[in-house]
Amino acid sequence: MDSAIKPTPIPTEEEDPPNQTTALLSFNTDSSSTPPSKPTTTTLLLIFLFITTCVSLFAAIGFAFLFFSSAKSQSPSNQTSEPIAQFARPLTKLNHPVVLLISSDGFRFGYQFKTPTPNIGRLIDNGTEAERGLIPVFPTLTFPNHYSIVTGLYPAHHGIVNNYFVDPHTGETFYMGSHDPKWWLGEPLWETVVNHGLKAATYFWPGSEVNKGSWTCPLNFCRHYNGSVPFEERVDTVLQYFDLPSSEIPVFMTLYFEDPDQQGHHVGADDPEITEAVARIDRMIGRLIEGLEKRGVFEDVNIIMVGDHGMVGTCDKKLIILDDLAPWIEIPQNWVYSYSPLLAIRPPPGFSPSDVAMKMNEGLKSGKIENGKYLKVYLKEELPSRLHYMASDRIPPIIGLLEEGFKVEQKRLKKKECGGAHGYDNAIFSMRSIFIGHGPQFARGRKVPSFENVQIYNLVTSSGVPMSKSIVLVEATCSYLVIYELEYTMLDIIYRGFAEW
């Protein structure tokens, strides 16, 4: 990322000393920036006079803003305006930064309150937390979200648009065991790390087994997925990396747990099985912390704990049956690429997607289809732009969005069962997961607003300044200060800790 002129917050007595960078790893992924040419003496004088005028003007505006907003800023409901990775603490034993990225699959935001979680609580109390959860990308499914977390890209751009999908050009099917690099676009974190001559280690993560670019899934540092491996063994293997000579310790590691997602699909989000699964994850975090402490490196390691999506309870009484649409249009089973919670339809040649979508919506809105009002069908290019789910041929032309907890099936069956699902619109709160950051690059006891998980890649690798914010000094104007204030991206909010507006 290019550098930009940014305001520097004044640390309080309780804060750690300011860090020179917000990157968690000691490299920058943007190699395209070049230093500006040296300005002339005359130019510097003009700039000095211009900036002095601007500063005076904005100082007056700033004083007025602070005066009139002081009452609001004292409101207890305001979020803490502290950054995620602003204050670095010195390393005590490791000679380089280390990031350990942990995923607890299906860890819905709020699960941490289901049962005592002293170890997760310790990370939260002494680290940084997304106060209202981490926002997944759409669709809120496991493979699209895990790969978005490590690439910083939306599914339409990194290629993993669903857990299962078909390439319309070749007819080939992607499934969760597909390791051909043609499916996996973008550059995941482990590839970024080795591109910079450093070591990465993955103990399970979607895409980590794919030999792509400079990443070869090395035997000692890359585990092929095996869900039967005990969680304890996974933690202990990661801990063993810290027994290597300091220069050999990978700078980036992943650790993955299937819980509590696998329980959630069977029993929903509110069941004693979920409570026990959350307690088990907490015990694994405790095992990790204890092992790092024994090695004297716990405070040196940047731990990022996330989930990929949330979970919501479903029951068969909340069904929408496609065969019920027959009076308006017949939707054969071979048109449907996924049913719930993401309805994806690709009509064969000769059928107009817009005509199919129109007739489906006509039937759903008629009041004659059971639960029809809880499904809305879109052409993919007409989906809300916030979903970022259009720019890929792998996405079928017709997408149906379901309301929370509802399901689509082809035909009506006699079964009556309840369970849990995810994959819904990422604006639904039950789809949110968790973000916790703990370590030398994270402020202690800080809360930040919710943000999308695509920002985690940037958090790990970059200085946190979007390229669009690069402002060369000689181009500075008074209006620049206003534009910069109004155009903060969510990445800026993560780093700067701005309250939501």
CATH code for position 384: 3.30.1360.180
- Residue 64 clears pLDDT 50, i.e. is over it: no
SS3 content of the chain, % helix, strand, coil (to 5): 35, 15, 50
Please say if the pLDDT value at position 143 is more than 50: yes
Residue pair 194/203 in contact (Cβ under 8 Å)? The answer is no
Q: How many domains does the chain have?
A: 2
Helical packing angle, 231-241 and 272-294, nearest 10°: 20
Residues 255 and 329 reside in one and the same domain: no
Q: Helix or strand or coil: residue 331?
A: coil
DSSP 246: G
- pLDDT band at residue 56 using 50, 70 and 90 as cut-offs: low
Same domain, 185 and 234: yes
Residues 211, 307: one domain? yes
Q: What is the pLDDT of residue 414?
A: 76
Please tell me whether residues 323 and 450 are part of one structural domain.
no
The residue with greater pLDDT, 443 or 472, is: 443
Q: Report yes or no on 184 lying in a domain.
A: yes
Tell me the two tokens of residue 435: 């973000």
Summarised one tens digit per residue, pLDDT across range 278-288 is 999 999 999 99
Residue 19 has pLDDT above 80, yes or no: no
In which residue are the tokens 């309080």 written?
12
- Is the pLDDT at 13 greater than 80, yes or no? no
Give domain status of residue 49, yes or no: no
168 to 144, 156, 160, 348: CA distances (angstroms): 18, 14, 14, 11
pLDDT at 163: 97
Q: Are residues 297 and 322 in the same domain?
A: no
Contacts of 495 (CB under 8 A, 6+ apart): 22, 83, 84, 85, 86, 459, 464
CB 308 within 8 A of CB 103: yes
pLDDT single digits (tens) 347-405? 999 999 999 999 999 999 999 999 999 999 999 999 999 999 999 999 999 999 999 99
In this prediction, residue 349 carries a pLDDT of: 95
Domain identity same for 446 and 297: yes
For residues 29 and 380, give the distance between their C-alpha atoms in angstroms, rounded to a whole number. Answer: 32
Residue 493, pLDDT above cutoff 70: no
- Residue 10 CA to residue 82 CA, distance in Å, equals 11
247 plus 342 within the same structural domain:
no
Residue 74 located in a structural domain: no
Give the lowest-confidence range in 163-167, 204-208, 314-318. 314-318
- State pLDDT tens for residues 249-259: 999 999 999 99
**The pair of three-digit structure tokens given for residue 217, joined into one six-digit string:** 């899934």
Tens digit of pLDDT for each residue in 394-437?
999 999 999 999 999 999 987 778 999 999 999 999 999 999 99
Same domain for 383 and 286?
no
Choice between 469 and 412, residue whose per-residue pLDDT is larger: 412
- Is the model's pLDDT at 32 over the cut of 70? no
What is the domain-level CATH number for residue 118? 3.40.720.10
From CA 354, how far away is CA 233, in angstroms rounded? 52
Determine, yes or no, domain membership for 196.
Answer: yes
Query: What is the average pLDDT across 189-209?
Result: 97
**Residues contacting 232, CB < 8 A, separation 6+:** 284, 287
Kindly state whether residues 269 and 303 are assigned to the same domain: yes
**What's the whole-number mean pLDDT along residues 232-250?**
97
DSSP string computed for 129-192? EETT-BBPPSS--HHHHHHHHHH---HHHHS--SSSEE-TTT--EE-TT---TTT--S--HHHH
Cα(490)–Cα(451) distance, rounded to whole angstroms?
A: 6
Give the residue among 148, 149, 251, 256 at the shortest CA–CA distance from 200: 251
Give the pLDDT mean for 312-329: 95
> Does residue 487 fall inside a structural domain?
no
Question: What is the reported pLDDT for 18?
Answer: 37
pLDDT tens for each residue of 91-132: 999 999 999 999 999 999 999 999 999 999 999 999 999 999
Look at residue 26 in the predicted model and tell me its pLDDT: 64
Average pLDDT over residues 16-31: 50
| Domain-located, residue 57 | no
Neighbours of 479 (CB within 10 A): 9
Show which residues are catalytic: 142
Higher pLDDT, 82 or 263: 263
Which pLDDT band, with edges at 50, 70 and 90, does 54 fall under?
low
Q: Which amino acid makes up residue 424? A: Y
> pLDDT digits over 69-87, tens only?
333 333 333 333 345 555 6
**Residue 36 pLDDT more than 70?**
no
For the chain, the average pLDDT equals 82
Q: Read off the pLDDT of residues 276-316 as tens digits, 9 standing for 90 and up.
A: 999 999 999 999 999 999 999 999 999 999 999 999 999 88
Cβ-count burial 313-335 (b if 16+ within 10 Å, e if not): bbeeebbbbbebbeebbebeeeb
| 102: β partners | 255, 305
Sign of the alpha-carbon torsion through 450, 455, 459, 465: negative
**3-state secondary structure string, 78-119?**
CCCCCCCCCCCCCCCCCCCCEEEEEEECCCCCCHHHCCCCHH
Return the percentage of the chain with pLDDT > 70, whole number.
Answer: 75
What is the span of the domain harbouring residue 405?
A: 316-417
Residue 415: per-residue pLDDT: 76
Q: Which residues lie below 8 Å from residue 298, measured CB to CB, with a gap of 6+?
A: 289, 292
- Asked if the structure places residue 381 within a domain, the reply is yes
> Which structure tokens are listed for 1?
């990322």
Q: Considering the domain boundaries, does residue 304 fall inside one?
A: yes
Same structural domain, 329 and 229: no
Going by C-alpha positions, the residue among 381, 339, 342, 376 that lies closest to residue 360 is 376
Does 132 lie in the same domain as 229? Answer: yes
Question: Quick one: tokens of 306?
Answer: 């996330």
My answer on whether 323 and 309 are in the same domain is no
